[in-house]
Structure 1
Amino acid sequence: MNHKEFEQQFSVRDYELDTQGVVNNSVYQNYLEHARHEFLKSVGLNFNKLHDNGTDAVVHKVELVYKKPLTGDDQFVVKTHAKKSGNVRFVFYQNIYRLPDRELILKGVITAVFMNDGRPIRPPQEVEAALQ
């Protein structure tokens, strides 16, 4: 399976902070989702085009381990790679590292299920080929 690691760089924006001055826990899922979509583009897949063709990758399970907080103006990178799991799932392994010191901020494991008309399906051949 594809173990090519993709990196997407971000900056913390002021409105993502909570009253304690750290990135709100829910914001991390936005970072991870955007990085997954960019990862898919980097391997020749487009999330929106997959949907237009009747295939949806739906988040089935999210596991997040928060190690350290991000704060205002922090720069960071989300590293992503995917691995097939069974017939209908891909697991996205995503870690967030603060820059420039590469301190581990968050470890994420996101399981996606491929669906068509609300039913799990085997991923299309183009998806399997791109993620191998």
Structure 2
Amino acid sequence: MPYSSQPQLSPTTEIELDNSFRATTEKWFEYPIIAHPHHTDYAGIVWHGTYLTWMESARIECLRSIGIDYTDLVSIGCDLPVIEINLRYHQSMRMGEHGIVKTRMNEVQGVRIHWDYEISSVSGSLLYVSGRVTLVGIDREKGKIMRQLPPLLKNALVKL
């Protein structure tokens, strides 16, 4: 299939905000990690992209903990692609170190879902990475931004 015939997404500036559904949370979901050799460069420092993988794993597990299996979203035709990432690297994590990825849904604005992250040592004394990721609900079949999140997801996010 030629590239030009694939569905094109609207610019994120065209996302309609539905202010009737807004949520924030103070509670963090914690996801334990270990820096294995395949997560690092030759110097034994965790590669920057690994943090993104850990953040996504933590988000998926957080959703699963409130009853949302990502495969269920896919089966109802919803995808949640990342539209914005902001990361700050505070200190390098090294091979063999254990850590915690903390994530929380910070806010839902219409079909935008903002997640905050902190990756730290198990004791919490060292902060490796902090950041925010914004997702948006996409209709998988149409390849377009949804007007509102599916009830399955909307109802579950209230639990956070």
Pick the TM interval, shorter chain.
over 0.9
Q: Give the drift of 1:21.
A: 2.0
Residues 65 and 106 of structure 1 are in contact (CA less than 8 Å); yes or no, is this contact kept in structure 2? yes
C-alpha spacing 1:42/1:100, structure 2 compared with 1 (3 Å): same
Q: Structure 1 stretches (4+) deviating beyond 6 angstroms?
A: none
The yes-or-no answer on 1:128 pairing with 2:154 is yes
Residues 83 and 131 of structure 1 are in contact (CA less than 8 Å); yes or no, is this contact kept in structure 2? no
Letter in 2 for 1:120: I
Structure with max Cα Rg? 2
Give the stretch that moved more between structures: 116-125 or 61-70.
116-125
- What's the secondary structure of 1:20's corresponding residue? coil
Residues 34 and 97 of structure 2 are in contact (CA less than 8 Å); yes or no, is this contact kept in structure 1? yes
C-alpha spacing 1:126/1:102, structure 2 compared with 1 (3 Å): farther
Q: Give the corresponding residue for 1:98.
A: 121
C-alpha spacing 1:80/1:107, structure 2 compared with 1 (3 Å): same
TM-score scaled to structure 1, two decimals? 0.93
Give the stretch that moved more between structures: 29-38 or 92-101.
92-101
Q: Give the drift of 1:11.
A: 0.5
Q: Give the drift of 1:97.
A: 0.8
TM-score scaled to structure 2, two decimals? 0.78
Residues 90 and 112 of structure 1 are in contact (CA less than 8 Å); yes or no, is this contact kept in structure 2? yes
Q: Give unpaired runs (5+ residues) of structure 2.
A: 1-22
Q: Give the drift of 1:130.
A: 1.5
Q: Give the drift of 1:110.
A: 0.3
Q: Give the drift of 1:71.
A: 0.2
Q: Give unpaired runs (5+ residues) of structure 1.
A: none
The yes-or-no answer on 1:81 pairing with 2:84 is no
Q: Give the drift of 1:101.
A: 4.4
Give the stretch that moved more between structures: 72-81 or 118-127.
118-127
Residues 6 and 81 of structure 1 are in contact (CA less than 8 Å); yes or no, is this contact kept in structure 2? yes
RMSD: 1.3
Residues 92 and 110 of structure 1 are in contact (CA less than 8 Å); yes or no, is this contact kept in structure 2? yes
Q: Give the corresponding residue for 2:33.
A: 10
Percent identical:
26
The yes-or-no answer on 1:119 pairing with 2:144 is yes
Equivalent-residue separation in structure 1 for 2:73 and 2:109 (angstroms): 20
